[in-house]
Amino acid sequence: MLNGSNILITGGTGSFGKKFVQFVIGHYKPEKLIIFSRDELKQFEMQQRWNTKEYPFIRYFLGDVRDRDRLKRAFSGIDYVVHAAALKQVPAAEYNPQECIKTNILGAMNIIDAALTCGVKKVVALSTDKACNPINLYGATKLCSDKLFVAANVYGGFEGTKFSVVRYGNVVGSRGSVVPFFKERMKTGKLPITDARMTRFWLTLSQGAEFVLKCIELGQGGEIFIPKISSMKITELAKAICPDCEMEIIGIRPGEKLHEMLISEDEARNAVEFEECFVIQPHEHKRKKLLAIKDNGKPCPEGFLYSSDKNPVFMSIDELKKLLVEIEDDFSIERNRWSLKDIPL
């Protein structure tokens, strides 16, 4: 489906964006692949790996999702949009709420408007487990964004732009995540732990990129796609990174949960389970169950919820160690060659 098409990714110079671009280059032959982001330095650095001479179908487009006119110019002739641009650091969002709202909510509105105006075929927006029963501003803005993208299908109709959402957990080793933070603190001999009971959903950049590509194909409009992924205990991760380090309990930070959730009990009433993922169906009755009917999904049982502490699949310390070795050079994309099948789900 992506061969010969025009694809654009917002936030394309981020951790996910680089992995997504690597997957598209490795598996498809697009007519154009446009990296849309606001940081000229990151674009320059990315061009050192994927320059337009060697990869003539790649374009680097400076712009901000807050700028609706710039988005409309960028979306001209585009078939598929992956919306990965966001302000995602929880403490920064708590301190700068207006800026987070401008990017994550108003930016989502601009994406929708530009996609509808330019006749984009499909938009897949990236979300987060923090959007499910949010307790911090970042999660609240992403919940608003999710609602906007699901509702946007009413404006697109059945023949117009289709909008879907992908919601997943923490990405191993991405910028600002706990892995690089722990590795830096190893030098002190102490690893700060907010709470020894804490659990998190865990997936790799490769898992995330591959799942998003699948959802571009599967999306009928209005779905929230949730992959089946592993959980991990924060104390187990600390032991996997530095077994000799002392764990220092520092207490939960503002806006932080003990356990994250990907599907709440209330959302589960509209959720369908498939072999590799869950799908929260839209409330809009004409679209509801389109995907379930097509692919024989089964409704989630009453009382079901998908949270990191009740996940049936947890990673052991040995599995975490293996994963950490594999992702060590994930930002140096030249050397990263492992795939989804290597990671236990």
For 45-52, what is the mean pLDDT?
Answer: 94
> What per-residue confidence (pLDDT) applies to 172?
79
* Backbone torsion region of residue 4, taken as left when φ is above 0, otherwise alpha when ψ lies between -120 and 50, otherwise beta: left
Q: Within 10 A of 104 (CB to CB), how many other CB atoms are there?
A: 24
CA angle 276, 277, 278 (to 5 degrees): 150
The whole-chain average pLDDT of the chain stands at 89
Given pLDDT bands bounded at 50, 70 and 90, which one contains residue 336? very low
Q: Are strands 58-62 and 170-171 parallel, antiparallel or unpaired?
A: unpaired
Share of the chain above pLDDT 90, in %: 71
- For the stretch 60-104, pLDDT in tens is 999 999 999 999 999 999 999 999 999 998 889 999 999 999 999
Given pLDDT bands bounded at 50, 70 and 90, which one contains residue 191? very high
> What per-residue confidence (pLDDT) applies to 340?
37
Looking at 18, 19, 122, 130, which residue is catalytic?
A: 130
Least Cα distance to 287 among 236, 344, 206, 223 occurs for: 223
Q: Within 10 A of 298 (CB to CB), how many other CB atoms are there?
A: 9
> What per-residue confidence (pLDDT) applies to 288?
56
> What per-residue confidence (pLDDT) applies to 5?
97
> What per-residue confidence (pLDDT) applies to 334?
37
pLDDT score of 2 more than 80: yes
Lowest-confidence range among 38-42, 130-134, 190-194?
A: 190-194
CA–CA gap between residue 310 and residue 231 (Å, rounded): 9
First to last CA, the chain: 26
> What per-residue confidence (pLDDT) applies to 284?
62
For 299-317, what is the mean pLDDT?
Answer: 94
pLDDT score of 277 more than 70: yes
- For the stretch 3-17, pLDDT in tens is 999 999 999 999 999
CATH of range 6-342; options 3.30.1180.20, 1.10.10.10, 3.40.50.720, 3.40.50.10440: 3.40.50.720
Domain map of the chain by residue range?
6-342
> What per-residue confidence (pLDDT) applies to 343?
34
322 has catalytic annotation: no
